[in-house]
């Protein structure tokens, strides 16, 4: 029904940071039970980017656990945009399932905060599948929680890829790769796959390269969509690809 969502809990002995809380009330309830079962004190909730499926339950969970919601300035701007389109887009997809979602995120000095003395770094990556995206770098774990800059076994969201978006996304991937992570948790992933950074980066690039290859070979959204599915038959959620195909081939669907 939608791209699978990754929700990440980075924790130490006592405290924890949640990255990208989910979309619906029922999903938030499951995440809340997971946090409670961990026995950790939730100090922060970090949002990687403005798409509502990565933060609409942030305030709900922040109030439940007494945590502070943090994000980059660019992400906060995009969060407000997603609130503005919520009724005609997000609520149309999930009627009655999304809680009130005020934008309560704040920035942190120098895009850094700590977890039990370990530095967590908000790295701004620019445009990936939307504008003003960021990732969370956890150097002590050789980990990047990448939001939608990197995908893992799921069709990538291309609705905002026109007008230089693919090249900008490649630059965002370069930004993540320059952090030299060993592990990457992606915003959308097939749970059967591991979190190996080298593989996930390479496969995300390959997907964009294939888009560039196939776009000029097809005259309509359906032909492009079918060709991409043929290249990536194992990737989950072809619905995201179809939405991107329609956006990349404006005009009536043939």
pLDDT at 135 over 50: yes
Whole-number pLDDT of residue 162 = 87
Whole-number pLDDT of residue 103 = 97
Question: What is the average pLDDT across 103-107?
Answer: 98
Mean pLDDT of the residues in the chain? 96
pLDDT at 1 over 80: no
Residue 248's pLDDT band, with cuts at 50, 70 and 90, is very high
Question: What is the average pLDDT across 222-242?
Answer: 97
Residue 209's pLDDT band, with cuts at 50, 70 and 90, is very high
Q: How far is CA 168 from CA 97, 127, 128, 252, in A?
A: 33, 6, 7, 27
**Alpha-carbon dihedral angle through residues 132, 135, 136, 137, given to the nearest 10 degrees:** -130
For the whole model, what pTM was predicted? 0.95
Question: What is the average pLDDT across 114-118?
Answer: 98
Whole-number pLDDT of residue 252 = 52
Q: How far is CA 153 from CA 4, 38, 123, 194, in A?
A: 10, 27, 23, 10
Whole-number pLDDT of residue 163 = 85
For 142-159, the pLDDT digits (tens) are 999 999 999 999 999 999
Tokens, residue 186? 């992606």
Whole-number pLDDT of residue 176 = 98
> Is the Cβ–Cβ distance between 4 and 191 less than 8 Å?
yes
């Amino acid at each position: 029904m939608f791209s699978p969502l990754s929700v990440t809990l980075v924790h130490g002995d006592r405290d924890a940071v949640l990255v990208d809380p989910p979309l619906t009330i029922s999903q938030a309830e499951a995440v809340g039970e997971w946090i409670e079962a961990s026995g950790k004190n939730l100090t922060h909730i970090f949002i990687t980017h403005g798409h509502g499926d990565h933060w609409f339950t942030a305030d709900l969970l922040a109030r439940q656990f007494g945590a502070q919601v943090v994000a980059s300035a660019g992400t906060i701007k995009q969060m407000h945009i997603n609130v503005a389109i919520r009724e005609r887009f997000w609520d149309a997809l999930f009627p009655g399932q999304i809680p009130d979602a005020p934008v309560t995120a704040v920035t942190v000095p120098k895009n850094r905060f700590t977890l039990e003395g370990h530095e967590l770094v908000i790295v701004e990556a620019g445009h990936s599948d939307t504008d003003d995206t960021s990732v969370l770098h956890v150097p002590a774990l050789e980990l990047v929680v990448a939001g939608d800059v990197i995908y893992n076994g799921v069709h990538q969201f291309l609705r905002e890829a026109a007008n230089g978006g693919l090249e900008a996304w490649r630059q965002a991937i370069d930004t993540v790769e320059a952090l030299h992570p060993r592990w990457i948790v992606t915003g959308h992933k097939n749970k059967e796959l591991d979190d190996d950074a080298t593989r996930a980066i390479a496969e995300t690039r390959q997907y964009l390269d294939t888009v560039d290859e196939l776009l000029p070979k097809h005259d309509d959204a359906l032909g492009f969509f079918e060709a991409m599915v043929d290249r990536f038959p194992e990737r989950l959620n072809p619905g995201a690809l179809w939405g991107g195909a329609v956006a990349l081939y404006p005009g009536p669907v043939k």
